[in-house]
């Protein structure tokens, strides 16, 4: 991080709607707080498996609450997440591995596209309720994000390379090392040590720890 700036890492997976909320809010605070924001695409499936965590909707009551919660959060955070009861099945039936490898490939080759590309994956899955697991869908997302056909094709070919697979595994392992058990995992490097914050509703607390003022989810 630059002199006096706090490095804040966001470990995320596009299958996670709460990750989208944290992503958008941190993007808004990037120029308000004295932080260097670093996007760390990781694989939620790997984190759940390694920690023995289970999706919240596995508990029916929690699933019911999550639907109401997400409606309120989407409005409060001004992020167009559209969630319905059948989304739980949709999540269970969708692997984000290809998408996260594609995003990782982009991070390795053209990191300037990381933000718009990630946003488009969330838009497609959580706003438009379209698939993000098939190559043609991934290419459609890339096109929406403003990537050339050539760049997208190259990234798609990289998905199966050991370099990309290893990078995604390493990033996921780093999130685990910091204590992550789900997504989003926000790690602030402050006062010589990493501080983990889990979820999109702890950014106020993050601000407090790093000495920054919280101005709500949509700071003007």
CA distance 5 to 188: 11
Torsion (CA) 146, 150, 153, 154 in degrees, nearest 10: -110
C-alpha pair distances (Å), 109 with each of 14, 79, 95, 105, 215: 19, 28, 23, 6, 35
C-alpha pair distances (Å), 135 with each of 14, 110, 154, 180: 16, 19, 12, 29
Q: In whole angstroms, what separates CA 208 from the centre of its chain?
A: 22
Just list the catalytic residues.
16
């Amino acid at each position: 991080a630059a002199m006096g700036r706090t490095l804040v890492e966001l470990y995320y997976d596009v299958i996670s709607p709460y990750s989208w909320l944290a992503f958008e809010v941190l993007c808004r605070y990037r120029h308000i707080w004295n932080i260097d924001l670093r996007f760390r695409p990781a694989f939620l499936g790997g984190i759940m498996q390694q920690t023995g965590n289970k999706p919240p909707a596995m508990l029916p009551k929690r699933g019911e609450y999550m639907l109401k919660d997400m409606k309120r959060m989407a409005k409060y955070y001004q992020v167009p997440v559209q969630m319905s009861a059948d989304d739980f099945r949709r999540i269970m039936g969708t692997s984000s591995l290809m998408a996260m490898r594609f995003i990782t490939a982009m991070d390795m080759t053209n990191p300037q596209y990381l933000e718009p590309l990630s946003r488009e994956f969330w838009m497609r899955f959580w706003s438009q309720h379209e698939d993000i697991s098939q190559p043609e869908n991934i290419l459609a997302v890339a096109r929406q994000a403003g990537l050339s056909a050539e760049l997208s094709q190259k990234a798609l070919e990289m998905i199966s390379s050991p370099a990309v697979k290893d990078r995604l595994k390493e990033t996921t392992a780093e999130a685990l090392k910091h204590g992550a058990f789900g997504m989003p995992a926000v790690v602030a490097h402050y006062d010589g040590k990493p501080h983990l914050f889990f979820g999109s509703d702890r950014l106020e607390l993050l601000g407090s720890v790093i000495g920054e003022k919280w101005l709500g989810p949509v700071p003007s």
